[in-house]
Amino acid sequence: MTEGNAETSINDQTIFAAELTPYRSLGLRGFKVLLMIAGAMSLVHIFVFLVIGAWPIVFFFGLDFVLLFGAFWLNYRSARAREEVSVSRTDVSVRKFTPSGRMTEHRFNPFWARFSIKRHQEIGIVSMWIIGGGRQTDIGSFLNRDDRETFALAFARALATVRRR
C-alpha cells in the first residue's frame, strides 16, 4: 500500500453513521393480537345482529374490520421508509429510502455543509436540513421529538469533529 492510499483510507473513514427509521409503538405481535380481538368482537356483533334479523348491519361490521386492517397496513408500509446518514472527512451522505424501496442520495462536502435546525419554543426541534453547494435536503422529518434532539446533537458533533481535524 502506498502512502497516498493510506491517507485516502484515513480520510474516507466514517466518523458518524445513523439509520433513521419511523417509530411504531405497536409491534407485529401486538398488531396480530389487536386484529384477533377486533375480529372476535366483529364476529360476536355480526352474530347478534343476524339473530335479531338486522342483517344489513353485518356489512358495516365487515367494512369496519377491513378499514381497520387497511389503516394498519398503510401505517406499517410507511414505516419501511428510512434514511441513512453518514459523515466522513470527505463526504456527508444522506440516503433516503421510500416505503416502496426507491433510494435517493444527497452528498455534501462536510466543510461547506451547514446543518440547520428549526425550533419551536414549546415543541423543540420541528425540522432539520443539510444545506450546501446550492442544494438542501431535510432529514429526520418522521422522527419523534426526543429522537430529533438526540440525532441533532450527535450529527452536529460529527460535523464539528470533521471540521477540526
- Each of the 165 residues of the chain gets a pLDDT tens digit; together they read 334 444 444 557 899 999 999 988 888 899 999 999 999 999 999 999 999 999 888 898 889 999 999 999 998 898 899 999 999 999 999 999 999 999 999 999 999 999 999 999 998 999 999 999 899 999 999 999 999 999 999 999 999 999 887
| Residues 100 and 118 both lie in one domain | yes
pLDDT score recorded for residue 143: 92
The partner residues of 127 in beta bridges, in order of sequence, read 118
Helical segments of 14-144, H only: 28-51, 56-78
| Residues 155 and 109 both lie in one domain | yes
pLDDT score recorded for residue 5: 43
pLDDT score recorded for residue 164: 86
| Residues 54 and 131 both lie in one domain | no
CA distances in angstroms from 57 to 39, 50, 71, 91, listed in the order given: 16, 8, 21, 61
Tell me which residue range forms the domain holding 158: 3-21+81-164
| Residues 101 and 148 both lie in one domain | yes
Per the rule left: phi > 0, alpha: psi between -120 and 50, beta: everything else, 130 is beta
Helices H, strands E: what count in the chain?
A: 4, 7
- Name residues whose C-beta falls within 8 Å of residue 89's C-beta, 6 or more positions apart in sequence: 10, 11, 12, 13, 15, 110, 162, 165
Say what the pTM is: 0.74
pLDDT score recorded for residue 10: 53
pLDDT score recorded for residue 26: 87
Number of domains in the chain: 2
Domain endpoint, select from 78, 97, 115: 78
Residue recorded with cell 470527505: 90
| Residues 13 and 91 both lie in one domain | yes
| Residues 56 and 104 both lie in one domain | no
**Alpha-carbon distance 38 to 139, whole Å?**
36
